[in-house]
Amino acid sequence: MSNPLFDAMIRGRAAGNGELFVDADGPVSDDAFFDVSARIASVLLDLGVTPGERVAVQVHKSIEALALYVACVRTGAVFLPLNTAYTETELRYFIDDATPRVLIVDPEAVAMGERLATTQSVLTLGTGGEGSLMARASSATPLTGALAREPGDLAAILYTSGTTGRSKGAMLTQNNLLSNAQTLVDYWQFDAQDVLLHALPIFHTHGLFVASNVILLCGGRMIFLPGFNIEAVLAALPAATTMMGVPTFYTRLLAEPRFNRQLVSQLRLFISGSAPLLAETHREFEARTGHRILERYGMTETNMNTSNPYVGERIAGTVGPALPGVEVRVCDPESHEPLGTNEVGILQVRGPNVFIGYWQMPEKTKEELLADGFFITGDLATIDEAGYVTIVGRAKDLIISGGYNIYPKEIELVIDDLPGVAESAVIGVPHPDFGEAVVAVVVRSTAAGMDASGEALDAAGLVEQLVGKLARFKQPKHVEFIDQLPRNTMGKVQKNLLRDRWEDLFS
């Protein structure tokens, strides 16, 4: 009986020294980790979870949380991780849409979990392993091995926001995850000697599939930090050989005088992705450390598509050529006809990494996943003579803040619903820490701009009303009130004019 992804993890770990995590409290062995995942797997089976059923998880980062992911792989349950910043209102949509069999939340959020659950069993998992999941797991009989799965079987659903304001669940198969992780291990030359500094969240592709799967498969180890805390990162760097991060990690490191060449002399590789890395950051990083950051490009729907080479020229401002086995082309947005070298168009990708569609959204899937297997990324790009891809913009209305994707439409719908608001336009403007920051440009509904209580609606009052409705990272960092939104002759809001007007807001 085979389970391709789990089998590859077992093979990968066999190449290592028996340890998976290097922790301040001492190492955590492969055996200990797999035992925890085998016990959690058994708990899931006891709850009646069958292959293909979803297990929704909103918990803080911990070794047990990663073991829970592996437990899903072992049992064929579809892992559905959710950003810890999501509010109850936001979570309700995912639970209703994905109808998971089990919902696992932080022990402090158990009341919320119970309110959200309709038919789901609710379990809890805290960062120290506290909560009902591990309580049950400790007395469970560990599952031996894994249930048989096919490469095309679903392994995970990750929600990605939509330009219409409705999130879409990207369905990822075992083979999507496995093929991509294996490619990255080879391409970036990961092996059992590697120690990855892991400071990313594990509810998104970057921290879960790029970082964790790569280490699980190569036999290396991880320093698993709960988040990006500069002191913890500076302390951990000398013990690491590699680090993966969003551009904010690198700008924060550069802002720190203690971050110098000597501190990172043991490291062989820094990788950046999820958002554009400024060429200036790339150059400053090289001048400070002697390392050229390797920038790569991916999406939730596709895992990783392109990467600057490990051996060869890493070109600042580009995301490198297509990964082995992945095809990229730049096409005309209307006809989908491929364009020539260096011409700007929409980037499309095809390969074993590309997802199989959006959960219960066949129409949306058909719009974005073409019959010939190419996926329309929505990113504007060029491809040069050497095959290097440069992302030059986005055809989709999307803001990327600190590596988190934020869809303006979702925020506009919430703001437009507030008393005292006629309409709004949400834009991203340059921000020194987050790359882009959310700014709401709002038109009040009456000349006096009163809210429900008769008070004049101001920026603080507006943001206050978003609490509980939108995760904190989606809330505007700044609000501007204007009399009228600029529109073109078709009536479409000219966001480019708004972006130009407020581009220096945070500089």
Q: How many CA atoms are closer than 13 Å to the CA of 8, on its beta-carbon side? A: 21
276 binds ligand MCA (CB under 6 A): no
Smallest gap from Cβ 42 to ligand MCA, in A, equals 30
d(CA 495, CA 194): 45
294 binds ligand AMP (CB under 6 A): no
Indicate the SS3 state at residue 175.
helix
Binder of residue 167, out of ligand AMP, ligand MCA, none (CB less than 5 to 8 A by kind)? none
When computed from its CA atoms, the radius of gyration of the chain, rounded to whole angstroms, is: 23
Phi, psi dihedral angles at 103 (to 5 degrees): -125, 125
**Of 36 and 233, which has the nearer Cβ to ligand MCA?**
233
Binder of residue 434, out of ligand MCA, ligand AMP, none (CB less than 5 to 8 A by kind)? ligand MCA
Stretch of 67-75, 211-219, 274-282, 382-390 contacting ligand AMP, by CB under 6 A: 274-282
355 binds ligand MCA (CB under 6 A): no
Instruction: Answer whether 441's CB lies under 8 Å from 452's CB.
Output: no
Indicate the SS3 state at residue 359.
coil
CA 284 to chain centre: 26
Binder of residue 379, out of ligand MCA, ligand AMP, none (CB less than 5 to 8 A by kind)? ligand AMP
State both tokens at 350.
Answer: 């095809």
Size of the site for ligand AMP (CB under 6 A): 18
Question: Helix, strand, coil shares of the chain as percentages rounded to 5?
Answer: 30, 25, 45
402 binds ligand MCA (CB under 6 A): yes
353 binds ligand AMP (CB under 6 A): no
Smallest gap from Cβ 169 to ligand AMP, in A, equals 12
Smallest gap from Cβ 202 to ligand MCA, in A, equals 9
- Among 391, 418, 441, 498, interactor with ligand AMP by CB under 6 A: 391
User: Which of 209, 216, 208 has its CA nearest to residue 190?
Assistant: 216
Contacts of 115 (CB under 8 A, 6+ apart): 88
- Among 99, 405, 461, 501, interactor with ligand AMP by CB under 6 A: 405
| Subset of residues 192 to 251 that bind ligand MCA, contact rule: CB under 6 A | 200-201, 204-207, 227-228, 246, 248
State both tokens at 481.
Answer: 């009130």
300 binds ligand AMP (CB under 6 A): yes
d(CA 449, CA 225): 46
| Chain residues in the site for ligand AMP (CB under 6 A) | 160, 205, 273-276, 295, 297-300, 319, 377, 379, 391, 394, 400, 405
